[in-house]
Amino acid sequence: MSRPMRLGEMTTVEAAEAVTGSPVVIIPAGAFEQHGPGMPLATDQIRAEAVVDRVVTALGGRAVIGPALPVGVSPHHLAFTGTVSLTSTTFAALVREYADNLHRHGWRKVLVVTGHGGNNATLTTVAQDLLTTHPDLQFAWTPVTALAAEVIAGMRVGEVHGHSGEAETAQMLFLAPHLVHQDRLAAGARSRADLGPLAGLALRGSPPTLTVRYDRLSENGVLGDPRRATSEDGAAIVDAVVRRIVAFVEEWLTT
Amino acid sequence: MSRPMRLGEMTTVEAAEAVTGSPVVIIPAGAFEQHGPGMPLATDQIRAEAVVDRVVTALGGRAVIGPALPVGVSPHHLAFTGTVSLTSTTFAALVREYADNLHRHGWRKVLVVTGHGGNNATLTTVAQDLLTTHPDLQFAWTPVTALAAEVIAGMRVGEVHGHSGEAETAQMLFLAPHLVHQDRLAAGARSRADLGPLAGLALRGSPPTLTVRYDRLSENGVLGDPRRATSEDGAAIVDAVVRRIVAFVEEWLTT
Amino acid sequence: MSRPMRLGEMTTVEAAEAVTGSPVVIIPAGAFEQHGPGMPLATDQIRAEAVVDRVVTALGGRAVIGPALPVGVSPHHLAFTGTVSLTSTTFAALVREYADNLHRHGWRKVLVVTGHGGNNATLTTVAQDLLTTHPDLQFAWTPVTALAAEVIAGMRVGEVHGHSGEAETAQMLFLAPHLVHQDRLAAGARSRADLGPLAGLALRGSPPTLTVRYDRLSENGVLGDPRRATSEDGAAIVDAVVRRIVAFVEEWLTT
Amino acid sequence: MSRPMRLGEMTTVEAAEAVTGSPVVIIPAGAFEQHGPGMPLATDQIRAEAVVDRVVTALGGRAVIGPALPVGVSPHHLAFTGTVSLTSTTFAALVREYADNLHRHGWRKVLVVTGHGGNNATLTTVAQDLLTTHPDLQFAWTPVTALAAEVIAGMRVGEVHGHSGEAETAQMLFLAPHLVHQDRLAAGARSRADLGPLAGLALRGSPPTLTVRYDRLSENGVLGDPRRATSEDGAAIVDAVVRRIVAFVEEWLTT
Amino acid sequence: MSRPMRLGEMTTVEAAEAVTGSPVVIIPAGAFEQHGPGMPLATDQIRAEAVVDRVVTALGGRAVIGPALPVGVSPHHLAFTGTVSLTSTTFAALVREYADNLHRHGWRKVLVVTGHGGNNATLTTVAQDLLTTHPDLQFAWTPVTALAAEVIAGMRVGEVHGHSGEAETAQMLFLAPHLVHQDRLAAGARSRADLGPLAGLALRGSPPTLTVRYDRLSENGVLGDPRRATSEDGAAIVDAVVRRIVAFVEEWLTT
Amino acid sequence: MSRPMRLGEMTTVEAAEAVTGSPVVIIPAGAFEQHGPGMPLATDQIRAEAVVDRVVTALGGRAVIGPALPVGVSPHHLAFTGTVSLTSTTFAALVREYADNLHRHGWRKVLVVTGHGGNNATLTTVAQDLLTTHPDLQFAWTPVTALAAEVIAGMRVGEVHGHSGEAETAQMLFLAPHLVHQDRLAAGARSRADLGPLAGLALRGSPPTLTVRYDRLSENGVLGDPRRATSEDGAAIVDAVVRRIVAFVEEWLTT
């Protein structure tokens, strides 16, 4: 009988076998933050978990799903009700303690898949700090949507798109359509002309990097036009993301 | 159309309405720790979430489910593979930041339902610290199993019972039978005569309180005999727990 | 010649002998907080120290008194002038560093006796964290008054009693009568009917647990009627508490 | 009837009066550290408390004694059994929280009298940090023995003297003779010729300052010859110290 | 007479004028880390400071140079002697306190120019945290070399290049040729074929991102061939970087 | 060819040789704080670096200059624009991490030369904490101006002198005359009669020690009369300071 692919659904006896049988632990990280008038606060977590499920399934037992990180670093969305954000310090402590405990049990490869870009920097600082404290642990992390840049480039996206826009909405239409209120989807800024000077500067797409609160970027919290999203595009994005991560893990397992 | 009862499934617009319409946020807290040879690591989280779902359903819109706390404070179980534990410092920071953010959006009543007793002390310290930092926030917390003490007293439990024993297993048989391996369930210490001197001292049930690692209390991580558990007992426990919490929240809403 | 029973009164040479001769270190923990119009701020520390003195005397050299913790976690009393409270973080650091230093010198059994219930949760978190950082240290803690529940049940206490009430005042009348102003003792809430809705909810005595500032529970900071307290009751409480702790330590010494 | 001079012995009602009547809070700080083969671990605390008692008595109600700091920063003595030391971080947090709470109740003048030189630096950092966080609080601190430099210069002290030497022993012979084991007092280094090169460098008495563990400075933890100490010298030292502090507070009260 | 362009060379009176006259503070951040056998540990700081000097000169008084950050986050280089690295926590605290103090004096635009990519993630977390604590502060940061990607693409660089390689060496040959030991410059990995499997995975250039210690990436700490670098290329890189940053600040000043 | 005397100008290969060849690392620490109307904010850093350069030159290769600490602990000067101050916690972390990294590479002697007295206390707490965490590291620190007390006593200084006064200005006139605006130099309090009661108490020069913000000590941030300073006095001060530090290091190298 096959072992479950979620560590949380294993017994401790099964977990002990998984340390050698499934040497990679993959942790989904999301956010609990506004996604405009039509999508739910848990959007990033839902996408991360769906991707991780597909990745672990594809890896056929060589990886297990670790404990989730359902809340991320989202101070830029705090002006929108419902957003719950961790400080970067607390999010880092959380990831570090997950990694330390898995390492204690014998795992040496931990991968965090984050549906929320606001977690990227903190995940990098954790990776840096672990080099000193856990030199024999290999810690990797990856965003979701960014892995499908080529697919998105082939979609009909506007000049400005991003948070709660075409690509995120497409993924949600494919993965959790019951949580997308298509009738309430509304566009935010779609072209650079729609942006004020500060938002224009913050969204140039190249450094210097200016971090700005989302309520100063977009009145409804959206960048781009989610109404253009289709479930088909979402499937293509998810598929590309999963393939990229699976390819990485397969190469990783040979190192 | 009714608003979803999970904050994570709401849009930010719906969340803004919930601040007044659903003035209580209930947060399920679990653990990611060994539950003997027959039950999964996520046992405490599964029970907490199931209780919270029932409580919020019973409250009919007056409460919402907040972001989860899937990993708790479990250093006593770290010798058993798969256990992931937060330090009390990090778990406290996590709860404090959830509470602070919900308070920032306008909520004034937050209740944490913890399926894991190892979280109790840290939840209490958070409640204490919030008195100074957020004087107008009302923060409450509750265990799960302990609310059904009378039901459990009426079950056939042994002299020694507790972690992964009759009561926890019964709840899981009722709530998530597919995750309980009845063929692998095994008894731990059932009577005080089964305990060594240190375990006997730690399990006296009254203070002074001596905290001991579970690998020194029970070889297989179990206290009591999970094989005696029935789904019917589990239903009775969950029902009692839900009724107690609902009654508390209803009284709370009138203060 | 007998060694002093207080570590602070020993020389370093005597302390080195005590590591083996007196393998238990007992630390009194108090609070610096309001105790109503008739009792002093140091009430909890006075009671803890008196109990510890008697316990160590009864143990006849097998335990020593460690450095004191005169200030505890009392944010709920900060509205009353004179209360000095540590954050739970600082109180935990203090206890952890005491324990770490005693462990460094060779002691493996440390017991904290706290006269103040507000310290209980933090002491538990310290016990949890020490399981990971100091696995061969046995750390125990105990409240004072709660150990004499049977004695108190036999006293004439009202429906509502607690902080600065019958039991605490009785102990002080026995232990430090010169610091009790009997002419100024005044009752707080004595029956549930005296309580407002929030106080009633917070003082139900069973979980869910709602932590509330004392100025919202009782105008004069008192729960119960301290005027009913007698020195004789105090002696009976102290005697029961001491016997319970001594019995625990004697059993502990055999493990 | 006069109010007690110890805050811990006051009721909250008396404390509220003391905020205006006794606008200075004086906190004794000690250490819990080796004092050679003849003096107790609590030596610094005993001297600090005795000085503070005399100062507050002399001030006749214009100051009160705050909660004690019985353990200080003593990492340099940790090689000697019985020493309990706080990290500078925890000692600073402790002092800062005492000060913050007293400030919250209305006091604006806090003075720490430290019997232990190892606390001086941390007290200074607290004073610095409070300038930013509590700009209207006046925080002062003072050592004990150093205030009597002229008296000590008039005693027969050797070329090298200091920790547990002539001056500290004299104070203890005057203040707590029952805790001084005169038959066990033993000299440490008395002249620079007794010192190894590293100890000689560390004890030059002028900067650059090299901090060295006491077990590398003196085999028995003593600097100087405690056998030369007399109770009369101790009385003269204490008297000079008390006068200096009283004079400071009296001037302070006029600012 | 013109005000100096360095805040450190201004008097407090001149600084007070600069708050309005020079509303942007630019802070150079470097690293103290190995740069192979031919370049100095301060390479990143030298380049950052040179760029900032040129940027501020070009801005003609509208910006000032703030206090430097000479040491960065370099745990990946710690196996190479001389590397001094801050934890991400301490580097973040440093940047946050610089920013907080400048904000306190009235500045609202702070830009960090980092010569070291290892600082990027921590700078981003600081930017995120400041959104909550200092909502009216605009905090931006930029790398150096990455701003000249087009110039570098036009240079003769190998398949693998990076740390201490063609681009960094070129900048140093232009900015501080006396500190480059051209006779000792040595190539590290130049093509993917030179890399072992783990290094190959870590240097794929696209996510998932695996952070690896430099001693596992390159024996001599170099990626690419610094011997190919020319001062002319360095000048072109610096010129492009400066122009990009100046353009950003000029646009920023209009928002 | 001689190795550079600055670690930052060495390659990692040269640094590896310096661990044995130059066993002392000397770190200059300054401040970024007001120095009255005529001297720059970086005054303390400039003086510390100049002294360290001369010390290391005099030691002829037996010491190297480590990474700088350009910002110190200056909360007392924050009312004056341009002052950037670290909390004592962050400054301590910085010094501790520098020391830890140098220790990791093999150095066992680290000396911090601080041009700013506000850093003294934090440097002492770091020295204390390192005794426990790095018992084989020798950590020393020294002020600058205080080492030349005899020279200053021979100068014409007023009854009150100190920050930005005769001695500091003299050093700057010698070391960096282009940064001293002699036409803008202005006296602050010169005699005790110029001081208000609180300033008088804070500047008594002997304990008890009262730390007061500089804006309450002196309106223009100056104590003493900088107009009396001469470059010749500055040269004499610097010379005395350098000789004292060199003598210390030479003795240290023999231990």
Instruction: List, for residues E222-246, the tens digit of each pLDDT value.
Output: 999 999 999 999 999 999 999 999 9
Q: How many CA within 13 A on the CB side of residue A129?
A: 22
Q: What is the pLDDT of residues E25-75, one digit of tens each?
A: 999 999 999 999 999 999 999 999 999 999 999 999 999 999 999 999 999
Bridge partners of D25, per DSSP, are D64, D110
Please tell me the predicted confidence (pLDDT) of residue C242. 98
For residue D74, name the pLDDT band (cuts at 50, 70, 90): very high
Count CB neighbours of B239 within 10 A. Answer: 14
D140 to chain F, closest Cα gap in Å: 4
Mutate to test the interface with F, among E5, E35, E84, E218 (most CBs of F within 10 A): E84
* Shortest CA distance from E204: residue in chain A: A248
D89 to chain C, closest Cα gap in Å: 9
CB contact under 8 A, E201 and A252: yes
Q: What is the pLDDT of residues D111-168, one digit of tens each?
A: 999 999 999 999 999 999 999 999 999 999 999 999 999 999 999 888 999 999 999 9
Are the C-beta atoms of residues C180 and C35 closer than 8 Å to each other? no
Q: Can you tell me the distance from the alpha carbon of B142 to that of A75, in angstroms, rounded to the nearest whole number?
A: 29
CA dihedral F169, F173, F174, F177 (to 10 degrees): 140
Average pLDDT over residues C130-146: 98
Average pLDDT over residues B131-136: 97
Bridge partners of D32, per DSSP, are D84
Q: Can you tell me the distance from the alpha carbon of C81 to that of C96, in angstroms, rounded to the nearest whole number?
A: 29
Average pLDDT over residues A87-97: 98
Please tell me the predicted confidence (pLDDT) of residue D223. 97
Are the C-beta atoms of residues F22 and F63 closer than 8 Å to each other? yes
CB contact under 8 A, F84 and E102: yes
Beta strands in chain A (DSSP E): 24-29, 63-65, 109-114, 138-143, 209-210
Residue holding tokens 């008084």? E61
E and F in touch (3+ CB pairs within 8 angstroms): yes
Q: Can you tell me the distance from the alpha carbon of B106 to that of B100, in angstroms, rounded to the nearest whole number?
A: 10
Q: Can you tell me the distance from the alpha carbon of C219 to that of B102, in angstroms, rounded to the nearest whole number?
A: 30
Query: What percent of chain C has a predicted confidence (pLDDT) above 70?
Result: 99
A and B in touch (3+ CB pairs within 8 angstroms): yes
What is the edge-to-edge ordering of all strands in the sheet holding B109-114? B63-65, B24-29, B109-114, B138-143, C209-210
* Shortest CA distance from D16: residue in chain C: C81
Residue C26 DSSP class? E
Asked whether the predicted pLDDT for residue C1 surpasses 60, the reply is no
For residue E158, name the pLDDT band (cuts at 50, 70, 90): confident
Tokens of E68: 């430097």
E85 interaction partners in chain A (CB closer than 8 Å): 132
D241 to chain F, closest Cα gap in Å: 10
CB contact under 8 A, D101 and C84: yes
CB contact under 8 A, E138 and A210: yes
Q: Is the dihedral of CA D99, D100, D103, D108 positive or negative?
A: positive
* Shortest CA distance from A195: residue in chain E: E255
Tokens of C126: 């310290």
Q: Can you tell me the distance from the alpha carbon of B92 to that of B95, in angstroms, rounded to the nearest whole number?
A: 5
Q: Can you tell me the distance from the alpha carbon of B80 to that of A12, in angstroms, rounded to the nearest whole number?
A: 6
- List, in order of start, the domains of chain B with CATH numbers: 24-247 (3.40.50.10310)
Q: Which of D13, D18, D78 sits opposite C37 (nearest CB)?
A: D13
Q: Which of F118, F121, F255 sits opposite D121 (nearest CB)?
A: F121
Inter-CA distances, E110 with A209, B107, C164, E27, F93, Å: 11, 35, 54, 8, 23
Q: What is the pLDDT of residues C95-108, one digit of tens each?
A: 999 999 999 999 99
E221 interaction partners in chain F (CB closer than 8 Å): 12
C125 to chain B, closest Cα gap in Å: 6
E99: closest CA among F118, D135, F84?
Answer: F84
D93 to chain C, closest Cα gap in Å: 6
Average pLDDT over residues C27-37: 98
B190: closest CA among B157, B235, B145?
Answer: B157
B5 to chain A, closest Cα gap in Å: 12
B147 interaction partners in chain C (CB closer than 8 Å): 207
Mutate to test the interface with D, among F26, F86, F131 (most CBs of D within 10 A): F131
Are the C-beta atoms of residues F217 and D255 closer than 8 Å to each other? no
E127 interaction partners in chain A (CB closer than 8 Å): 209, 211
Q: Which of C40, C93, C104 sits opposite D8 (nearest CB)?
A: C40
**Residue ranges, chain F, pLDDT below 50:** 1
F9 interaction partners in chain E (CB closer than 8 Å): 40-42, 179
B140 interaction partners in chain C (CB closer than 8 Å): 208-211
Asked whether the predicted pLDDT for residue E118 surpasses 60, the reply is yes
Are the C-beta atoms of residues D12 and D145 closer than 8 Å to each other? no
What is the edge-to-edge ordering of all strands in the sheet holding D209-210? D209-210, F138-143, F109-114, F24-29, F63-65
D70 interaction partners in chain C (CB closer than 8 Å): 8, 67-68, 70
Mutate to test the interface with D, among F51, F114, F211 (most CBs of D within 10 A): F211
* Cis omega (within 30 of 0) for bond into A37: no
Asked whether the predicted pLDDT for residue E121 surpasses 90, the reply is yes
Please tell me the predicted confidence (pLDDT) of residue F51. 98
Q: What is the pLDDT of residues B42-100, one digit of tens each?
A: 999 999 999 999 999 999 999 999 999 999 999 999 999 999 999 999 999 999 999 99
ipTM for the complex? Answer: 0.97
Average pLDDT over residues C67-80: 98
E147 interaction partners in chain A (CB closer than 8 Å): 206-207
- Give long-range contacts, CB 8 A cutoff, 24+ apart: C51-55: C51/C113, C51/C115, C51/C144, C51/C238, C51/C241, C51/C242, C51/C245, C52/C26, C52/C27, C52/C28, C52/C113, C53/C5, C54/C238, C54/C242, C55/C26, C55/C113, C55/C242, C55/C245, C55/C246, C55/C249
Asked whether the predicted pLDDT for residue A189 surpasses 80, the reply is yes
CB contact under 8 A, F111 and D208: yes
* Shortest CA distance from B11: residue in chain A: A40
Inter-CA distances, C108 with B192, C253, D106, Å: 25, 11, 43
A and D in touch (3+ CB pairs within 8 angstroms): no
- The residues, any chain, with a CB within 8 Å of residue D117's CB and separated by 6 or more, are D143, D145, D146
For residue C144, name the pLDDT band (cuts at 50, 70, 90): very high
Are the C-beta atoms of residues B242 and B174 closer than 8 Å to each other? no
F248 to chain E, closest Cα gap in Å: 24
Residue B182 DSSP class? T
Please tell me the predicted confidence (pLDDT) of residue D156. 81
Q: Which of E71, E81, E102 sits opposite F16 (nearest CB)?
A: E81
E247 interaction partners in chain A (CB closer than 8 Å): none
For residue E2, name the pLDDT band (cuts at 50, 70, 90): low
DSSP β-ladder status, C24-29 and D24-29 = unpaired
Q: What is the pLDDT of residues F38-90, one digit of tens each?
A: 999 999 999 999 999 999 999 999 999 999 999 999 999 999 999 999 999 99
Q: What is the pLDDT of residues B157-199, one digit of tens each?
A: 889 999 999 999 999 999 999 999 999 999 999 999 999 999 9
Mutate to test the interface with B, among A6, A9, A11, A122 (most CBs of B within 10 A): A11
Q: Which of E75, E125, E197 sits opposite A132 (nearest CB)?
A: E75
A207 to chain B, closest Cα gap in Å: 30
Please tell me the predicted confidence (pLDDT) of residue D2. 65
CB contact under 8 A, E106 and F8: no
C241 to chain B, closest Cα gap in Å: 10
Residue holding tokens 């049930």? B205
Please tell me the predicted confidence (pLDDT) of residue B2. 65
DSSP string across F53-105? HHHHHHTTTSEEE---B-----GGGTTSTT-B---HHHHHHHHHHHHHHHHHH
A12 to chain B, closest Cα gap in Å: 5
Please tell me the predicted confidence (pLDDT) of residue F158. 86
Mutate to test the interface with A, among B45, B78, B84, B183 (most CBs of A within 10 A): B84
